[in-house]
């Protein structure tokens, strides 16, 4: 019997070694080709019978089209529409920064029109890098979760209103709501203030470190904090109509590191016969402008940080006798948006350790994994730290 047990243990170790070898060599990196080759048609009009210039203009048209095609593949259609002027000025107008090589395959002249079929090699990594620096979220990018702690004082208010103070608020302040709606429309995930049974009783100017720590406890990746104020402005309209000016001054911080990610100060002036409504309108306008500016700044820093992000350790318990379930879990993790690479670190009879390169925080990876459904087993994510996710397989 002892020989049988020894043989059984030896076979189990061999099986684990085989599984470790198979999954350890698996790397689920996203397509990271630095150069993309395209065949693009360019068109131009021949002016004053100058065929040479017409040909070159057709080639130039093809080169811009090739860069534009890569941009369309890297960004969502909504982002391209919203930021087209910025893309045109910074990327399409600088096509030579991204064209590595090109070759005219054929051309055709019809009347005063010349068309050229051009094979173009585009430096995709350069396009992606510069789009990220502009704060444009790449398709499939993982957006950070944002918590707002923005105090507000309208025209007739004696003091600031804010949700972390001595009284509960049933809704966001005007400028905070405008910023939240703007960033959410861009793709960011907004963390709602907690439903407090008792007020936090923190001062309006609580230390930034305390605010960042609170944002971390609430599951945010980014904290936006600051002030919004509205007051009467010099009246240039005459009559009963008055002018009201609002200023929104906010800063963004990376919750994990505490480092700043951006700052903006936006103003808005409106006219209204009612001072409260005028102040609200001005605060909303300044909040929308602040949200647009912050979205660009935060995403630029976030994507650069994610490109340099440390690997998240994923530890899975309960793998003993359930290797098939673990393999399906590993496949699900590797297929999540934002996962660039997955590698095995170690495997023991009842546990597997993986290293996951992910464009986001450990919390956002855990949240994404919780949305997955598995046939024949479940998962229990019982601990999440900034660098580690611990999972237990739940088998029937």
Contacts of 359 (CB under 8 A, 6+ apart): 141, 142, 303, 306, 307, 309, 338, 339, 340
Cβ atoms of 240 and 274 within 8 Å: the answer is: no
| pLDDT value at residue 362 | 84
| pLDDT value at residue 76 | 79
| pLDDT value at residue 31 | 39
| pLDDT value at residue 16 | 45
The CA distance from 177 to 171, in Å, is 8
The packing angle between helices 51-74 and 124-133, to 10°, is 60
| pLDDT value at residue 302 | 85
Beta strand 339-348 with 351-358 is antiparallel
| pLDDT value at residue 64 | 94
Tell me phi and psi for residue 9, to 5 degrees.
-65, -40
| pLDDT value at residue 301 | 86
| pLDDT value at residue 235 | 65
| pLDDT value at residue 210 | 92
| pLDDT value at residue 383 | 92
Q: What is the pLDDT along the chain (396 residues), one digit of tens a residue?
A: 445 454 444 444 444 444 444 444 333 333 345 789 999 999 999 998 899 999 999 999 999 999 999 999 888 787 888 789 989 999 999 999 999 999 999 999 999 999 999 999 999 888 988 887 787 777 767 788 999 999 999 999 989 999 998 887 777 889 999 999 999 887 788 998 887 777 888 999 999 999 999 998 888 999 999 999 999 887 655 566 789 999 999 999 999 889 999 999 999 999 888 889 999 999 999 999 999 999 889 988 887 776 665 689 999 999 988 888 999 999 999 888 778 788 898 888 899 999 998 877 788 888 889 888 888 899 999 999 888 999 999 987
């Amino acid at each position: 019997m002892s020989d049988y047990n020894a043989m059984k243990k030896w076979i189990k170790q061999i099986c684990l070694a085989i599984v470790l070898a198979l999954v350890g060599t698996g790397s689920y990196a996203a397509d990271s080709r630095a150069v993309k080759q395209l065949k693009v048609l360019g068109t131009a009009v021949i002016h004053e019978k100058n065929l040479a210039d017409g040909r070159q203009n057709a080639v130039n048209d093809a080169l811009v089209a090739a860069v534009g095609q890569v941009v369309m593949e890297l960004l969502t259609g909504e982002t391209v529409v919203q930021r087209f002027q910025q893309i045109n000025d910074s990327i399409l107008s600088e096509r030579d920064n991204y064209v590595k090589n090109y070759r005219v395959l054929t051309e055709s002249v019809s009347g005063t029109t010349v068309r050229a079929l051009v094979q173009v090699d585009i430096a995709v990594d350069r396009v992606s890098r510069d789009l990220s620096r502009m704060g444009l979220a790449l398709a499939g990018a993982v957006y950070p979760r944002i918590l707002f702690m923005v105090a507000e004082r309208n025209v007739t208010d004696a003091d600031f209103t804010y949700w972390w103070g001595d009284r509960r608020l049933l809704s966001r302040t005007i400028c905070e709501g405008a910023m939240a709606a703007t960033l959410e429309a861009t793709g960011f995930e907004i963390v709602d203030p907690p439903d407090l049974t008792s007020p936090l009783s923190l001062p309006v100017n609580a230390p930034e470190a305390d605010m960042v720590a609170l944002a971390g406890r609430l599951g945010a990746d980014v904290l936006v904090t600051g002030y919004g104020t509205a007051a009467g402005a010099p009246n240039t309209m005459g009559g009963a109509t008055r002018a009201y000016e609002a200023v929104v001054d906010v800063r963004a911080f990376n919750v994990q590191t505490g480092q700043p990610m951006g700052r903006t100060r936006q103003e808005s002036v409106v006219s209204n016969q009612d001072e409260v409504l005028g102040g609200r309108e001005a605060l909303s306008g300044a909040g929308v402008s602040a949200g647009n500016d912050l979205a660009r700044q935060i995403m630029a820093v976030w994507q650069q940080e994610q490109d340099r992000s440390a690997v998240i350790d994923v530890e899975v318990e309960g793998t003993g006798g359930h290797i098939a379930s673990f393999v399906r879990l590993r496949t699900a993790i590797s297929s999540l948006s934002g996962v660039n690479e997955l590698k095995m670190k170690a495997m023991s009879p009842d546990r597997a350790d993986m290293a996951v390169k992910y464009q986001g925080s450990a919390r956002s990876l855990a949240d994404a994994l919780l949305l997955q459904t598995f046939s024949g087993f479940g998962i229990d994510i019982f601990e999440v730290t900034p660098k580690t996710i611990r999972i237990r397989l739940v088998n029937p």
